[in-house]
Amino acid sequence: MHIDRAQTIALQAVAWLMETDDLRDVFLGATGTSEGDLRTRLSEDAFLVSVLEFLCNDDAWVVGFCDAHQLDYTAPMEAKQSLPGGAEVNWT
C-alpha cells in the first residue's frame, strides 16, 4: 500500500474513533492525547501508527470502521505496516 493511502486510512480511523462516543475517551486515554493536541499530532506518522494499532486491538472495531468506509477488513493492518515504524517486528 502506498504511504499516502495508508495515511488517509489512518486519518479516517481517527475521525471514526472520535465520532464513536464509547471509543473516543478510550482512544484518547490509550494514546495519551488530548482533543486539543490531536490536530497537531495528525501529521506524525508515529501517531498514525498508534491509531491503527489501537483500532486493530478489537475485531469489532475493525469491522465497524471498515464497514463504515467500505474497506477490506485487512486495510487497517496493511496501512499500519505501510507507515514508517509500523512494520511488524519479527524476533526470529
Total structural domains in the chain? 1
- Could you tell me if residue 89 is inside a domain? no
pLDDT reading at 87 higher than 80: no
Residue 64 lies in a domain: yes
Average pLDDT over residues 12-23: 92
Average pLDDT of the chain, as a whole number:
88
Residue 70 is part of which domain span? 3-82
Please report whether residue 87 resides in a domain. Answer: no
**Amino acid 75: pLDDT:** 96
pLDDT digits (tens, 9 = 90+) for 52-78: 999 999 999 999 999 999 999 999 999
Q: How far apart are CA 91 and CA 21, in angstroms?
A: 37
Asked, for residue 70, whether it belongs to a domain, the answer is yes
Has residue 91 been placed in a domain? no
Helices (H), the chain: 3-19, 21-31, 35-41, 45-55, 59-68, 75-82
pLDDT at position 86 over 90: no
Residue 38 binned pLDDT confidence (cut-offs 50, 70, 90): confident
Tell me, yes or no, whether 88 lies in a domain.
Answer: no
- Please check whether residue 19 lies inside any domain of the structure: yes
pLDDT at 70: 97
